[in-house]
Amino acid sequence: MMEPTDRKRAARAMAMELRGSIAEELREERSRAACEGAKQWLGQAWPGCSSMMLYMPFRSELDVRPLIEWGWRSGIAVIVPRCLPEQRFMELYRIHSWNDVHAGAYGIMEPDPSRVPRCGEQFMPDVVFVPGLAFDRQGGRLGYGGGYYDRFYDRLHGLSMKLERSMPLWIGCGYEAQLVAEVPMEEHDARLGAIMTEQGISLTGNARTNPQA
């Protein structure tokens, strides 16, 4: 029987190949549809949303840039992480335009700290949009193995307890083709409160990350 880490390694290789096999024009079309669905969902289910954390899309990830631009137009604070590889840690910054980002760790676009200030230590976004290789309907997420988002989740969870606030809603972002029956998970892995694909946003019912719970 394979160990969890071995199962994850094998699942990552398969998921990376599958996502990369989706034609670029289809990825663009499905990304636009996913972002349009997210705009509508946030407007209806969460009209009071004032801040959202998003990732800068890399390679074949679902492209959330239309959602970022909608956030700017709507007055919602757009928060983007900056990775610190030495500490395996993410810092948060609010960006106001594409001029506020540049190529950073791993070649991924990230906030330019010389242009925008870092968010305070006690800042918590209302919603966190999370990239990944595969997702399941129970809130499972297969990441890239760096543990950045798992550690960030733990940090936010500790902060939510300290401030007596609800956890932000964590939304996994991917194409419908990235959904699997079950993602191999370990105890320390963060679970998602919702999944976003070109078919819309669906809640997982995971009480730990669902602010309606």
User: What's this model's pTM, rounded to 2 decimal places?
Assistant: 0.92
List the beta strands (DSSP E) in the chain: 51-53, 77-84, 89-95, 101-103, 109-111, 127-130, 134-135, 141-142, 169-173, 194-197, 200-203
Specify the residue for token string 């394979």. Answer: 2
Q: Which helix (H) or strand (E) holds 6?
A: helix 4-20
Q: Residues 108-132: pLDDT tens digits? A: 999 999 999 999 999 999 999 999 9
Q: Residues 167-181: pLDDT tens digits? A: 999 999 999 999 999
Q: Residues 100-113: pLDDT tens digits? A: 999 997 889 999 99
Closest CA to 194 of 140, 132, 123: 140
